[in-house]
Chain A
Amino acid sequence: MNIEIEELAKEFGTERALHPVSLAIPSGALIALLGPSGSGKTTLLRILGGLEFPTSGRVLFDGADATGLTVQERRAGFVFQHYALFKHMTVFENVAYGLRARKRRERPTDAEITRRVSRLLDLIQLPDIGARYPSQLSGGQRQRVALARALAIEPRMLLLDEPFGALDAKVRKELRQGLREIHDRTGLTTVFVTHDQEEAMELADLVVVMSMGRIEQVGKPAEIRAKPASDFVRDFTAA
């Protein structure tokens, strides 16, 4: 699914989190929103997911206006910054949550749910942790469970807020690879937020550099390296 953002702006009271920004995300792309803390990355991601509504501007999914769609109608697989796993549920129940929440007509049978959850746990290479609680998992495992939970709803796109932010360097490298593989296998349009330029450059097809609520540059990693559009971009992406 391709995503278009037209002149999107967001104000919190008097605070301008996003100046009008426009962006086209091609279907199936893996995109990084890169920028320092407070540059508006999370706000933009949350507007895409329907968790926040813009002050002005439009969001289009496959050409259709999606600005007014509720969070449930968006069907965006969202991975939160600290994963937001349901701590009182097992891993299995966490992943099954979105399937069980469906309307009766569309809800899979229990057997089908079990089958789909095991397939997702296989996909994230943690087949045996279904019975555990989130508190019994490592940080990296939690991140992968959050990813599986988001994928379970058969989302139209994948939105991840600092998915590697809370992990140590070694795990981070492994999971980067994991996200790339899952993206390539599912073919989902994927947007992830990061403040780590190396991570953005290594993982993304397209990098969106943001600063103070504005988009500074959009381009392939190599283009941004070779031709930074501003001093800010050059400084921020200097390795």
Chain B
Amino acid sequence: MSDITFIRAESVTTEPRLTRGVLIGVTMALIAVLLFAPLIAVFAEALSRGWAAAVASLASPDARSAIRLTLIVAAIAVPLNAVFGIAAAWAITKFDFRGKAFLITLIDLPFSVSPVVAGLALVLLFGVNSSLGAWLVANDLRIVFAFPGIVLATMFVTFPFVARELIPVMIEQGRAEEEAALTLGASGWRTFFTVTLPNIRWALLYGVLLCNARAMGEFGAVAVISGKIRGETTTMPIMIEMLYNEYLSVAAFSLAAVLALLALVTLTLKSLLEWRHADLLAATRRH
């Protein structure tokens, strides 16, 4: 999206060379200091005792269970939030109803509430001290300090990403194409899958990738609700913190490097998809 605008902006504006050079230089320097340097530091620290030590630390049961848990939580939370995000964006952009403005504010709530507070709220709601929690425990359904709680906390924190990406795109596109499909005899579902979804696929992909990155990286809410039971409810970020606090810096940074790599993979995936479909992307945007 941004590169297309940039190309046009460059050919239209005629900023003096010097201004442009300085701006680009400053941006590059900031990116280097704020983004690349920390990333490189993590990898350097992970490999400070050599490859073998790093790989060995990742092969430990704690590290492996943390990686597995994080991937499984993301694999559940992200698709569910994609579905909820589409539903929320659909409701907000295609229908008029009372309380719409309130719903839009509500969607953003997870962004403004500290994740720790969110985690505490879930503990209060589902913990043994609440009647709901007591009932759950009586029926042997464990949410707090267990896997379902981690999924819930992750979903709460990452809920806005997909909806936030979709709402502006869906507002801009309006309802005309969907209405056209309906007049041509298509059912509501068919219209959704053949018209709505293809029209929002880039925004959806972007939202899902952001959601995924955050889901894998979430610390605060998960730290509270997971109870940090080693090897059982410790996701990668939690495990990294524990290892770091125990002065196991190679293990901590190796795991951190894996987490960073997972984020880089999602980013690369996004660029690759955009590049492969650049012509189609441009065609839909120009219209």
A interface residues with partner B (beta carbon < 8 Å): 49-51, 71-72, 74-78, 80-82, 84-88, 97-98, 101-102, 133-136, 149-150, 152-153
Contacts and interface: CB of A to CB of B under 8 A. Distances in A.
Contact of B180 (A75, A86, A88, A136): A86
Contact of B199 (A82, A88, A97, A153): A88
A9 B186 CA distance: 27
B176 interface: yes
Going nearest first, the 4 A-B pairs with the smallest beta carbon separation are A98-B184, A84-B176, A135-B287, A78-B183
A189 to B, nearest CB: 16
Interface of B: 176-177, 179-187, 190, 194-195, 198-199, 280, 283-284, 286-287
Given A80-B180, A134-B287, A135-B283, A87 B199 contact: yes
Given A150-B184, A152-B184, 16 more contacts: A50-B183, A51-B179, A72-B185, A74-B183, A78-B180, A84-B177, A85-B177, A86-B177, A87-B284, A88-B198, A98-B184, A101-B181, A101-B190, A102-B185, A134-B287, A149-B180
A82 B184 CA distance: 16
Given A72-B186, A149-B184, A136 B283 contact: yes
B158 to A, nearest CB: 28
A104 B55 CA distance: 56
A153 B287 contact: no
A25 B141 CA distance: 66
B101 to A, nearest CB: 16
A51 B182 contact: yes
14 contacts: A50-B183, A51-B182, A74-B183, A80-B176, A80-B180, A84-B180, A86-B195, A87-B287, A97-B184, A97-B186, A134-B287, A136-B283, A152-B184, A153-B185
